[in-house]
Structure 1
């Protein structure tokens, strides 16, 4: 099971200005900022993935003749 949903399916909603350091994203690397962002968003992703798993389970239970 995935920890996070795939990102290639849609456009990333990232701003041109980094929300961590406040500098433009295209001027330098933001590896440190990315690590900080991932740590802060971990709880949010966990809740999102738990919600998706619950929806899938409910959908499977609704099927009359599951395969």
Structure 2
């Protein structure tokens, strides 16, 4: 199974206190609809990020002198 996004435990989410979708404070009210919209718009960004990470991992494996 391949990941579509990086694990969240590796780094902190850097979300601003103001919602970039609706413009209101993220602490006030629900932002489930905004979150869905954000996930759809970020999908292309995440896929390119994960492809870059996979390429780095593959390059690192190829550099190894003795395969494991």
Deviation at 1:11, TM superposition (A): 1.8
- With structure 1 as the length reference, what TM-score do the two structures score? 0.94
1:62 and 2:63 are equivalent in the alignment:
yes
- With structure 2 as the length reference, what TM-score do the two structures score? 0.93
Instruction: State the alpha-carbon separation in 1 of the partners of residues 62 and 9 from structure 2.
Output: 29
Structure 1 residue runs without a partner (length 5+): none
Structure 2 residue runs without a partner (length 5+): none
Structure 1 runs of 4+ with >3 Å offset? none
Instruction: State the alpha-carbon separation in 2 of the partners of residues 23 and 7 from structure 1.
Output: 24
Instruction: State the alpha-carbon separation in 1 of the partners of residues 58 and 10 from structure 2.
Output: 22
Deviation at 1:35, TM superposition (A): 0.4
Deviation at 1:7, TM superposition (A): 1.1
1:28-43 paired onto structure 2 within 5 Å: 28-43=29-44
* Coordinate RMSD, CA, aligned: 0.7
Deviation at 1:66, TM superposition (A): 1.3
| Residue aligning to 1:21 | 22
Deviation at 1:54, TM superposition (A): 0.5
* Count of equivalent residues: 67
